[in-house]
Structure 1
Amino acid sequence: MKLAPLLLCALCSSGALACGTRGDRLSDGPPLNVSDPDRDRNRNLDLDLDVSAVLRRVDPRFLSVTIDASLASEERFMSLLSSLRMRTLAEALSPAFLRFGGTRQDFMLFEPQRRPDAQLAAGESCDQTLLPRWLEERLKHDWTEQKLLLMKEDLLRKYKRLRFTELTVDQLNAFANCSGLQLIFGLNALLRAPDGSWNSSNAGLLLRYCESRRYRMSWELGNEPNSFEKKAGIRVDGRQLGLDFTRLRKMMSESKLYRDAGLYGPDVGQPRDRHTDLLEGFLQTGAEAIDACTWHHYYVNGRDTSVEDFLDPEVLDTLALKTNEVLEKVKLVSPGKSVWLGETSSAYGGGAAGLSDTFVAGFMWLDKLGLGAALGLDVVMRQVLIGSGSYHLVDDNLDPLPDYWLSVLYKRLVGPEVLKIQVFSEFGRSKRVRMYLHCANRKRYRGGALALMSMNLGKKPARISVPAVVSNSTVEAFVLESERSGEEGLYSRSVKLNGEVLMMVDDKTLPDLRRRLLPPAQHLQLPAYSLAFFVLPDARAPACR
């Protein structure tokens, strides 16, 4: 039978599978009635792998996370980071960056109290600051109410100035250190001098305090400067923003502790209108000051999206268009500069309630990890580990949501080396099975092992033919499905790994993420509406040795 290659859009050259069709939509109503033959019968796919060479390598902290600055809207909520459960959950995502920032970082003002009872200092035992259970329960209850107030502020775009003390910084540093994460602190860029330049005095106060405590951390300046005018009536052009970063770099160079610390920015929104002009202007004056150029990406508006958008291959493919545009801008002005997604999730506007925090969000998340790595991004920071909104990895009760478990599996199984993969189907243009290939994590697997990331966006299972070059390897299958079957399960906040629902054993213990060991075979099975990692430990891939 003659096989027709899947349409790979602009991504074939990257080796990433990024394919899709538009039209068959899911809804909360009756079952879908579609005529696409690819959705009415099993799909048979053939893989073409190139395991002889590495396309590119991402940072070992490629999958990183954020804490939204909204958590400091009342400083007492920062104590949730002293929860044993939160630290356990965060530690499982190490190594990673931990970015503290977001909309409210540009309304935060450091007002030190110079308390004698400062929190955890570098080198002290992490056990000394664990949160008492009774206080954790009270804070979790109050946080659910606080989130409603924050949501109202977001809708009205009226933000209050947030004053924070040493407590916020101490809690962040302790959380990062005790979880094995590397803290990036976002500074307020809306503090402006009469001439329009950045007023760095408050940042200087914060840097001096952090240096006195020997807190090893990196820095950012401002969040989405393209929206400053909407948020605060202040407009800052790219050229000035670059000069502001240059000023911050100079301040850091005068510090023995921070002269070699990371500085990242400008955290612009995804390319649109003047966003690209702002990025170009920034790079012309500030590129030398930063260690990586950061930008933000969301697929859809959380207020008017629907479940079909989360499964629409054309929506997923928009990441490539935006990413390539940013990469081209950076390459033109500052070739060789690393590019990061400094903040990203499924839907902007705080996420889409009932979607961004459910099983269906995993398709956008895993596709972004696979596609982003293949396109040329070095780090992807997931909004948000904890904070306001509906796109978090951990819910208000500090229980992990489906995307958390997906992230942990990625960390454990996937290495930084990106390899080339192409997929062929007898159905031609179907784009509902998407796959990405990396070397397996060498901390867990010997050299030569492969990790195949897979997702099935459709309601019928897929049968994947494995090339002879690797078909003699045993297979470790890690298949994620919703707790409930069918389209209803897309809205679930629980997930099954190889048939077992994942949940924490206790506050300090994650469950065993059990593999399903398969013998060498010519085919793999990918269930409907599923996400999967297939590790081939005996593949002996030359690129991964």
Structure 2
Amino acid sequence: VRVSGTWANSTYFPDTDTAPAEPPAGFIGVLKRDQWKGVVDFSRAVDAGIVTSFATSVGARDNTGVWAPEQAKRFLDYTRSVGGQIAAAEFMNEPTFAAMGGAPAGYDAAAYGRDFKVFRTFAKEAVPNMLITGPGSVGETTGDWGLAYGNVQMLKTRDLLAASGPGVDAFSYHHYGASSQRCSAAGMPGTTVEDALSERWLRRTDETLAFYRPLRDEFEPGKPFWLTETADAACGGNPWAATFIDTFRYLDQLGRLAKQDVRVVAHNTLVASDYGLLNDQAFTPKPNYWGALLWRRLMGTTVLDAGLSRPGLHLYAHSLRGHPGGVALLAINNSRTQSTTIVLPVPAARYTLTANKLEDAHVQLNGQELKLGPNDELPDLSGKPIPAGRVELPPASITFLSLPHAENRN
């Protein structure tokens, strides 16, 4: 579970249970110790390691402007004291836009490289079992769309890596294919709901990874990719991020990236704003939650060759989780009007997600609406048994197929 963001760069962590009423100079916010203990308790309850980043704003520096580890040490010490552990961390959230996170005026790649070396030395001594991920860049792509944050200066990842030198355990980056409507006034590039199922929209995650791959190969060869922050759009997501239409983007992204050796995908957020997986008032699941749950239950960690995808049929194959020799298929029909078919060699269990309207906040599994029970228990998520042979995939549908007897040897 990742707890970070632009806010983390300038958040003060107190050394007592009594937090200051206002953040000290050089910080913008305060994270109370009991708030952080709640995160630790949650991570332990769901058996999830914590991924985070550290304060890097003006207040987290010495009198020469160099990053100082005191805040990070206090944060780590307290985490350990309440039974928590940081599994992995980036030094700074999105250093390509360091100015947004409270970095000193004129902060550049050379300053980042200097600070990262201080951080790396500290981390290896203080928390040797914590994975260092980085750089955690955002905004760069091989596509013609790009992502900018108004007039904020953008530092180039190549320059950051050249200045910092090698030293990460995983190469992390962030991806947003656009910014949300709420940031359009700042001149940030957006998208439309009409484009949500288009090939050009869905492939944007490939174009971001394609930008960072040669940099990984040059500066951190062999290190795994971690996508440590993503959603439909930056700035809280668009209104349709809370509806079924965005589940196509989410699950297609997981399928695409798994084929390209991306080991971790952290979706922003669990519960906050339009792009949260849960409603931030009632904590009820949104469509993306149900998609993620089915992915986690069915799609194993071994990626198989499903053949080439095409417009109207994006097909992904993994080992079937918990069933040696089994195969799990994800078949996405992103056509709004045309059905398509696939042929199965053996019987399967079918899990088809649809909605009455694409921009519906409710989703159906095999025709039955998914919703929590009266005591928040999960509904029955059993698949529908189907024979071998042709399987029709209706327009604008997402289908998981479980093939436990596929005799997969991979």
Distance 1:235 1:496, change over 3 A: farther
The reply on whether 1:325 has 2:205 as its aligned counterpart is: no
RMSD, aligned α-carbons? 2.3
Q: Could you tell me which residue of structure 2 aligns to residue 494 of structure 1? A: 362
Post-superposition shift, 1:324? 1.5
| 1:38-84: CA deviation from partner (whole Å, max 9, x where unpaired) | xxxxxxxxxxxxxxxxxxxxxxxxxxxxxxxxxxxxxxxxxxxxxxx
Q: Looking at CA atoms only, which structure, 1 or 2, has the larger radius of gyration?
A: 1
Determine helix, strand or coil for the equivalent of 1:405.
helix
Structure 1 window deviating more from structure 2 (285-294 vs 358-367): it is 285-294
Post-superposition shift, 1:184? 1.5
Q: Is the 8 A contact 1:228 1:235 kept in 2?
A: no
CA distance in 1: counterparts of 2:328 and 2:106, whole angstroms: 46
Determine helix, strand or coil for the equivalent of 1:535.
strand
CA distance in 1: counterparts of 2:108 and 2:245, whole angstroms: 38
CA distance in 2: counterparts of 1:196 and 1:367, whole angstroms: 43
Structure 1 window deviating more from structure 2 (327-336 vs 455-464): it is 455-464
Distance 1:498 1:162, change over 3 A: same
Q: Is the 8 A contact 2:332 2:397 kept in 1?
A: yes
Q: Could you tell me which residue of structure 2 aligns to residue 223 of structure 1? A: 93
The reply on whether 1:106 has 2:9 as its aligned counterpart is: yes
**Equivalent residue runs for 1:353-502 within 5 Å:** 353=239, 355-387=240-272, 389-396=273-280, 397-423=282-308, 431-441=311-321, 443=322, 445=323, 447-466=324-343, 471=345, 473-482=346-355, 484=356, 489-502=357-370
Post-superposition shift, 1:434? 1.2
Q: Is the 8 A contact 1:110 1:164 kept in 2?
A: yes
Which 5+ residue runs of structure 1 have no aligned equivalent?
A: 1-97, 116-158, 425-429
| 1:170-221: CA deviation from partner (whole Å, max 9, x where unpaired) | 1110000011111113211223344442132222222222233342213332
Q: Could you tell me which residue of structure 2 aligns to residue 259 of structure 1? A: 128
Distance 1:512 1:235, change over 3 A: farther
Determine helix, strand or coil for the equivalent of 2:202.
helix
Post-superposition shift, 1:415? 0.7
Residue 385 of structure 2, aligned match among 487, 509, 517: 517
Q: How much identity, in percent, do the aligned residues show?
A: 25
Amino acid at match of 2:8: Q
**Equivalent residue runs for 1:303-322 within 5 Å:** 303=181, 304-322=190-208
Q: Is the 8 A contact 1:324 1:375 kept in 2?
A: no
| 1:465-498: CA deviation from partner (whole Å, max 9, x where unpaired) | 32xxx61x1111100001x1xxxx1111110001
Structure 1 window deviating more from structure 2 (234-243 vs 319-328): it is 234-243
Distance 1:277 1:186, change over 3 A: closer
Post-superposition shift, 1:305? 2.6
Q: Could you tell me which residue of structure 1 aligns to residue 73 of structure 2? A: 204
The reply on whether 1:279 has 2:157 as its aligned counterpart is: yes
CA distance in 2: counterparts of 1:228 and 1:490, whole angstroms: 37
Q: Could you tell me which residue of structure 2 aligns to residue 533 of structure 1? A: 400
Higher relative contact order (CA 8 A, sep 6+): 1
CA distance in 1: counterparts of 2:63 and 2:382, whole angstroms: 60
User: Number of aligned pairs?
Assistant: 381
Distance 1:235 1:371, change over 3 A: farther
CA distance in 2: counterparts of 1:103 and 1:267, whole angstroms: 11
Residue 172 of structure 2, aligned match among 278, 285, 294: 294
Distance 1:242 1:293, change over 3 A: farther
TM-score normalised according to structure 2 size: 0.86
CA distance in 2: counterparts of 1:254 and 1:383, whole angstroms: 30
Post-superposition shift, 1:230? 4.4
Amino acid at match of 2:354: E
CA distance in 1: counterparts of 2:107 and 2:384, whole angstroms: 54
Q: Is the 8 A contact 2:97 2:155 kept in 1?
A: no
Determine helix, strand or coil for the equivalent of 1:418.
strand
Q: Is the 8 A contact 1:185 1:220 kept in 2?
A: yes
Structure 1 window deviating more from structure 2 (392-401 vs 413-422): it is 413-422
Amino acid at match of 2:138: G
Post-superposition shift, 1:114? 4.2
CA distance in 2: counterparts of 1:423 and 1:306, whole angstroms: 27
Post-superposition shift, 1:538? 1.3
Distance 1:252 1:301, change over 3 A: closer
CA distance in 1: counterparts of 2:154 and 2:211, whole angstroms: 9
Q: Is the 8 A contact 1:363 1:457 kept in 2?
A: yes
Determine helix, strand or coil for the equivalent of 2:262.
coil
Structure 1 window deviating more from structure 2 (105-114 vs 212-221): it is 212-221
Q: Is the 8 A contact 2:94 2:136 kept in 1?
A: yes
Amino acid at match of 1:394: L
CA distance in 1: counterparts of 2:237 and 2:133, whole angstroms: 24
Residue 108 of structure 2, aligned match among 237, 241, 262: 237
| 1:336-371: CA deviation from partner (whole Å, max 9, x where unpaired) | 011111100111121101x11111000110110000
Determine helix, strand or coil for the equivalent of 1:422.
coil
Q: Could you tell me which residue of structure 1 aligns to residue 23 of structure 2? A: none
Distance 1:323 1:276, change over 3 A: farther
Which 5+ residue runs of structure 2 have no aligned equivalent?
A: 19-25, 182-189
Q: Is the 8 A contact 1:187 1:203 kept in 2?
A: yes
Q: Could you tell me which residue of structure 2 aligns to residue 168 of structure 1? A: 35
| 1:135-181: CA deviation from partner (whole Å, max 9, x where unpaired) | xxxxxxxxxxxxxxxxxxxxxxxx97111221122111000001111
Q: Is the 8 A contact 1:461 1:526 kept in 2?
A: no
Post-superposition shift, 1:402? 0.2
CA distance in 2: counterparts of 1:236 and 1:379, whole angstroms: 29
Residue 503 of structure 1, aligned match among 364, 368, 371: 371
Distance 1:111 1:412, change over 3 A: same
Amino acid at match of 1:241: Y
CA distance in 1: counterparts of 2:354 and 2:165, whole angstroms: 43
